[in-house]
Structure 1
Amino acid sequence: MDTGILAAVVIAIPLFAVTNIDDIFIIVGFFVEPRFGTAEDVVGQFLGIASSRAKSDER
């Protein structure tokens, strides 16, 4: 295996984990905020994922 690919994987795994942990804290913050309902939180999460996905597909 190429050492460049291995280095990228070694860096990517913890970054992926940290990003997901951070996302969990943000979502919990929205769920405990009484101004926002559950439907708004879920729709917002889907819109965020969709916009990230759309941006990553740009060339």
Structure 2
Amino acid sequence: MILVVHEMKRLARNAAELMMLAATLQAAGIQLELLSGPMVGVYDPGVSVWRNENVR
């Protein structure tokens, strides 16, 4: 399952809070994907990075 959020500010107040939430969601089997902003992409806590599939 993937939780898609348009903007980071709709989910968390800062990047640290967002990373903690993403890790919690991942533990429940839910991936987090952001559609816009500085951290666009899918968070993968296994490697502690955001994966942006649109960058080439």
The interval holding the TM-score normalised by the smaller chain is 0.3 to 0.5
Rg larger in 1 or in 2?
1
- Structure with the higher helix share, 1 or 2: 1
Higher relative contact order (CA 8 A, sep 6+): 2
TM-score w.r.t. length of structure 2: 0.35
TM-score relative to the length of structure 1: 0.34
